């Protein structure tokens, strides 16, 4: 039964917002939330705003995420921040494997798995982003691509590590393009992913939270959220 899975709404700010804009946006989100929201609310802010946002949401149900981090505890990695550093700012979630990181910054499956494992090590929940290109969808290899992206992480941490993490299905052809998978397309992929996970661990599959991302907005959100998977 899907009712045992929590509902999660996550917003990735990417490389947007000045300090003033970030503060204003967080305050607007806080104001708009009901006292007891019916979903877990996550915001993934640019790392430079983590300290400010962390202070603003301290007494709210909003949870704070970071868009990227390095898997090493410390070292000569100019320009990087480590997962362990995030603990100082009440960061609870970390995006790993976002298509923009994979395509623009050459994050490969091995690195994604390392970041995933590092997040778990420091008690931060990873959100594993997976997705196919338009060409891969047209070739009918969507599930093959998604399974390979998940398997690369499972090979490192094991399927049991997916007990309390989140998988985010974000078709690359729909990210920031205005194109959106139909609720039926999203449901089909989510369902097939759950079946595949069930072959490795039925309990993990049943409870696994799978988000849809890719030009989701106020117009289509209700129909997407209403899907059983």
Given a contact cutoff of 8 angstroms between Cβ atoms, the answer to whether 162 and 116 are in contact is no
Annotation says 40 is catalytic: no
Given a contact cutoff of 8 angstroms between Cβ atoms, the answer to whether 40 and 73 are in contact is no
Annotation says 21 is catalytic: no
DSSP H or E segment with residue 70: none
Distance CA 44, CA 170 (A): 15
Distance CA 229, CA 227 (A): 6
- Catalytic pick among 70, 132, 170, 190: 170
- Catalytic pick among 49, 70, 93, 98: 98
Q: Which of 42, 53, 65 has its CA nearest to residue 17?
A: 53
Residues involved in catalysis: 98, 170
């Amino acid at each position: 039964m899907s009712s045992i899975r929590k509902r999660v709404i996550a917003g990735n700010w990417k490389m947007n917002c000045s300090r003033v804009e970030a503060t204003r946006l967080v305050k607007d989100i806080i104001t708009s939330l009901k006292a007891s929201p019916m979903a877990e609310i996550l915001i993934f802010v640019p790392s430079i705003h983590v300290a400010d946002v962390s202070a603003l949401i301290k007494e709210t149900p909003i949870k704070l995420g970071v868009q990227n981090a390095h898997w090493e505890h410390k070292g000569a990695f100019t320009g990087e921040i480590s997962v362990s550093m995030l603990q100082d700012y009440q960061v609870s979630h970390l995006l790993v494997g976002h298509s923009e990181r994979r395509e623009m910054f050459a994050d490969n499956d091995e690195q994604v798995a390392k970041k995933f494992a590092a997040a778990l090590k420091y008690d931060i929940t990873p959100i594993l982003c997976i997705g196919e290109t338009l060409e891969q969808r047209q070739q009918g290899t969507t599930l093959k691509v998604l399974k390979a992206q998940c398997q690369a992480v499972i090979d490192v941490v094991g399927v049991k590590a997916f007990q309390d993490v989140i998988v985010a299905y974000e078709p690359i052809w729909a990210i920031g393009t205005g194109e959106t998978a139909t609720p039926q397309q999203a449901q089909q992929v989510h369902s097939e992913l759950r079946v595949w996970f069930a072959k490795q661990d039925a309990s993990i599959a049943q409870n696994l939270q799978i988000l849809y991302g890719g030009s989701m907005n106020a117009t289509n959100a209700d129909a997407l959220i209403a899907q059983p998977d």
